[in-house]
Amino acid sequence: DIQMTQSPSSVSASVGDRVTITCRASQGISSFLAWYQQRPGRAPKLLISAASSLQSGVPSRFSGSGSGTEFTLTISSLQPEDFATYYCQQANSFPYTFGPGTKLEIK
Amino acid sequence: QVQLQESGPGLVEPSQSLSLTCTVSGGSISSGGYYWTWIRQQPGKGLEWIGYIYYRGSTHYNPSLKSRVTISRDTSKYQFSLTLTSVTAADTAVYYCAIGYPNWFDPWGQGILVTVSS
């Protein structure tokens, strides 16, 4: 299985800050990577597919980049509703696997 | 817009089978090229892809669960189901159904907590 890691595991930030989360795959996955946002008590929501393709309705302050084994999710100016846990997921090969998550907390 | 809703028992005894159903509204599970997917999230842990049933009926499972998992569908009821046999406490989780494309998932159901305990 492809192992996914994320850093940091948690981050504290303020409204208006720029935040970057890194996701690494244990082997190359081209651009087959997705990012999800999960608010407490809610199901994950797809934000980005194919490493950088923003889903319809997702604010443009979210962006994704990377290919191969290293990927980033950037939130350009944090809003109160962005405080949540973020997961990456490799979509290159079975079984699909997720990262352990990055919890974004209010400073 | 397609919506999904999980249902089933919230408590299952060890060694028994866990059976959940996902009801789809706003779309048909026998058309559209979708992959009808189950994913779970164990308490305090990350997400685990369980498997899918393709709209044409083929299935694919996570090897870690393959010997215990069956995903099936009832197209007349707009439902697909998950059966997990010989459950243990390690199978306690929130179980989500979702649409796969096939390898990103959107949308998801709200999730259902299943506890394995006697």
**What was the pLDDT predicted at B28?**
85
Residue B67 touches chain A, beta carbons under 8 Å = no
pLDDT tens digits along B78-116: 999 999 999 999 999 999 999 998 889 999 999 999 999
Given a cut of 90, whether residue B45 has pLDDT beyond it is: no
CA distance B51 to B68: 12
Tokens for A45, please give them. 């929501």
Give the bridge partners for A66, in sequence order: A71
Considering only CA atoms, which of B69, B60, B64, B78 is closest in space to residue B21?
Answer: B78
Report the chain B residue with the minimal C-alpha distance to residue A44. B108
Rounded alpha-carbon distances, angstroms, from residue A93 to A34, A47, B11, B52, B62: 13, 20, 33, 14, 11
pLDDT tens digits along A57-86: 999 999 999 999 999 999 999 999 999 999
pLDDT tens digits along A91-101: 999 999 999 99
Given a cut of 80, whether residue B32 has pLDDT beyond it is: no
State whether B46 and A101 contact (CB < 8 Å). Answer: yes
**What was the pLDDT predicted at A87?**
98
Report the chain B residue with the minimal C-alpha distance to residue A88. B47
DSSP B85: -
Tokens for B64, please give them. 């870690």
Asked if residues B37 and B100 have their Cβ atoms less than 8 Å apart, the reply is yes
Q: Using CA of residue A87, residue B66, residue A2, residue B88, what is the dihedral sign?
A: positive
Tokens for B73, please give them. 């569908």
Selecting from B46, B63, B109 the residue whose C-beta is nearest the C-beta of A95 gives B63
Give the burial class of B88: count Cβ atoms within 10 A of its Cβ; 0-12 exposed, 13-18 middle, 19 or more buried: exposed
CA distance B67 to B70: 9
Phi, psi (deg, nearest 5) at residue B62: -65, 125
Chain B residues close to A49, C-beta within 8 Å? 101, 104
